[in-house]
A and B are shown apart, each in its own frame.
Chain A
Amino acid sequence: MVIVAMSVIVFFGVMVIGNPVDILINPEFDQEEMERAIKALGLDLPMWQQYLLFVKNAFQGDFGKSFVFGEPALKLIIQRVPATLELAFTALILSILIGIPLGLFAGLKPDAPVSKTIMGGSILGFSLPTFWVGIMMMMIFAVMLGVLPATGRGQTVTIMGLKISFLTWDGLKHLLMPAINLALLKISLVIRLTRAGTREVVLQDYVKFARAKGLSNRRVILVHVLKNILIPVVTVIGLELGNLIAFSVVTETVFAWPGMGKLIIDSIQLLDRPIIVAYLIIIVFMFVTINLVVDILYSVLDPRVRLQDVKS
C-alpha cells in the first residue's frame, strides 16, 4: 500500500509539466550551448528513461541534483528538515500548553462569560487565514512595536550536527512569532477537544465519587478529569503533527523561515524537478510513519482497540 502510493505520487511528480530549461538556461545561449546544458541536466532522454533512471537512483538514496543549486536534492532537503521540525514541535507544545488549560476551563464552567469568549475565539481561530494572521502579527510586533524580528531564523547553536535556535535568546525571539502563528489553528482544535471531553467526564460516576470522598477540587480536576480527557487529545495531537508540518509551508513562506516548506515553494516556482520529487517522497514517507505510529499508540493507550481489528 505504502509503495503503491509512493510510486504513484513519484510518477506524477516526475511528469511535472513545464520545461525547466526555459527558466534556468541563459536565453542568450546559442543552440549548441543549450543542447550541452540540457544533456548535462539529463533532460534529453525520453520521459520513461528518465523515470527508470530515477527509480534506480532513488533506491540508492540519490534523487538527482537540484537544477538550481547543483547539489544533491536529498541533501538540500535533509539540511532543511531540522528547522521545520523545530517550528512544528514548538507549535505543538504551544498548542498543548495554551489549549488544554483554556479548554479545561471552558468545559468546567460552560456558562461563564470567559468560557464563551474562549469558544468564540476558537471559532475565529478556525476561520482566520494563517498567512494573513502571520502578516498582521509581523506588522504589529515587528513593524509597529519593533519588539520581535520579522523574518529569518536568527542565531543558532549547533548540537550534534543539528542547528537549533531555541537555545539562544536571538533564536528564541525569531522562533516565537512563526510558532504562535502555526499553533493558532491547533490551539482552537485542542480547546474544542478538551472542552468536549471535560464536559463528558465531569458527569461520570468516578468524578462524583472522587468529590464525595472529599478530595480537593484541584486534585479532582488535575488527576481524575485531566487524565481521562488526555487520551483522545493526545492521539488527535499526534495526528495533527503531520498537518503542522504541511501547514508550515505557509508560515515559513511568510516569515522566511529556512525550512523545507519554503524550499518546496521556491522549487515549484522555479520548476526544480528533483527537489519537488524528493520532497514529495520524503513527505509521503513521513506521513506513512506518523500514521503508523498513531495507529500503534491507539492500541497502547486504549486497550479496547486491538491491532487485529484494525487489519480486518
Chain B
Amino acid sequence: MSVSTKTETIPELSAEAAPEVETTLRRFLSDFTENKVAVAAFVVFIGIVFIAIFAPLISPQNPFDLAEIDILEGRLPPKSESISGTTFWLGTDDQGRDMLSAIFYGLRTSLGVGAMSGFIALCLGTCIGLTAAYFGGRIDSIVMRLVDLQLSFPAILIALVLLAILGKGVDKIIVALIAVQWAYYARTVRASALVERRKDYIEAAQCLAFSNRRILFRHLMPNVLPPLIVVGTVQVAHAILLESTLSFLGIGLPVTEPSLGLLIANGFEYMLSGKYWISFFPGVALLITVVSINLVGDQLRDVLNPRLRR
C-alpha cells in the first residue's frame, strides 16, 4: 500500500519542484508512510473521493431517475434481487432506490459540501488571521475578540441559529459551515503568523519595501501552511459530520440533495420495524469517511509538527 501512494504522488509533484523541495517532500512522504494505519486510511480516503467524483459512472442505478426505480421494490432487505434481475447488495429504501447507489450519491453531496465549505473557510480564515497578526493593534484585538466570542459557543449551536434564520438549501448550509469554521483557521493562522512575523526574513522583506500584500501572501503565508493543513483536515471531517447532523435534524439540506445524513434520517422511521439497512449503511459510509480523514489528520500532525521531528 505504501508503494502505491508514492507512485501516485511523487511523479506529478517532483516534475515541477526544485531539487531541494523534492528532498523535503521525500522526507515528508517517508515520515508519513511510517505509520501503516495512516497510509491505509489515506488509501481508503482516496477511494472514497474517487467514488464521490465518479458516482454517476459506477453506481448500479441512478437514484434520481424515476424510470429506473420502482416503488414496488421498496424496503427490500440486502442482497435481494430486483424484478429486472439486478441485485440490491445493500437493500432498497422506501422509494425502491438501491441503497448502494444512494450512498454513492450521498457521499458526493456530503464530501462536496464539506470540502467546499472547508476550502472557502480556510481562505477566509487565513486572510483574516494573517491580517490580524501582521498589522496587530486594534485590528488584531477586534478580530480576536470576535473569534473568542464565536469559539465560546458550540459549532452546532451557531449553525443551528444561522440555518433557523437562512432556511434550507445547499448554498445556505455552506454559508453556515463557513461561518462556523473560519474562526478556527483564523486563530491557528494568527498564532503561527505571530511567531513567524518576528523573524528576520520578514524584516528583510520590509527593508526591501515590498508591499504589505506581497509580504503577507508571498512570505508569511507559505510559512504558516503546515499547521493550517492539519487544522484543515480535522475541520473537513468536522464539517462533514456537522452537515450530516443538521440534515438529519431536518434543517440542513433539502430532500432533493440527499446527503448521508438525510439518508439516515429517511431510514429512521423504518428502523423501529426492524428494517435496519436504510439507516445502517449510510452511517457506516459516513463513519469510514470521517475516521479515515481523522487518521490521516492525526499522522499529518505528527509529521508536520517540528517539535516531534526526529
Contacts and interface: CB of A to CB of B under 8 A. Distances in A.
Interface of A: 1, 5, 9, 12-13, 15-18, 123-124, 126-132, 135-136, 138-139, 142-144, 150, 242-243, 246-247, 249-250, 253-254, 264-265, 268-269, 276, 280, 283, 287, 291
Contact of B164 (A132, A143, A247, A276): A276
Contacts of B249: 131, 249-250, 253, 265
Nearest to B271: A139
Nearest to B154: A246
Interface in B176-220: none
Contacts of B167: 17-18
B12 to A, nearest CB: 30
B156 A129 contact: no
17 contacts: A13-B164, A16-B165, A17-B166, A123-B294, A128-B287, A129-B290, A131-B245, A132-B264, A136-B280, A136-B283, A142-B272, A143-B272, A246-B153, A250-B245, A253-B249, A265-B250, A268-B164
Contacts of B164: 13, 16, 268, 276
B274 interface: yes
A287 B153 contact: yes
Best-surrounded residue of B248, B280, B291, B294 (most CB of chain A within 10 A): B248
Interface secondary structure of B, over-half rule: helix
B290 A127 contact: yes
Contacts of A123: 291, 294-295, 298
Contacts of B261: 129, 131
Interface in B262-310: 264, 268, 271-272, 274, 276, 279-280, 283, 286-287, 290-291, 294-295, 298
B57 to A, nearest CB: 28
Contacts of B166: 17
B83 interface: no
A9 B290 contact: no
B168 to A, nearest CB: 10
Interface size on B, as a range, is 35 or more
B251 interface: yes
Nearest to B157: A246
Nearest to A9: B161
B237 interface: yes
Contact of B286 (A129, A264, A283): A129
B240 to A, nearest CB: 9
B152 A135 contact: no
A155 B95 CA distance: 38
Contacts of B165: 12-13, 15-17
B307 to A, nearest CB: 15
Nearest to B250: A269
Contacts of B248: 129, 131, 250, 253
Nearest to A283: B157
Given A15-B165, A130-B245, A253-B249, A139 B276 contact: yes
Given A13-B161, A250-B156, A268-B251, A138 B286 contact: no
B244 interface: yes
Nearest to A18: B167
A287 B152 contact: yes
Contacts of A264: 160
Given A136-B280, A139-B279, A142-B272, 10 more contacts: A13-B161, A13-B165, A17-B165, A127-B287, A127-B291, A129-B245, A135-B264, A138-B272, A242-B153, A269-B251
Contact of B149 (A5, A131, A135): A5
B247 to A, nearest CB: 10
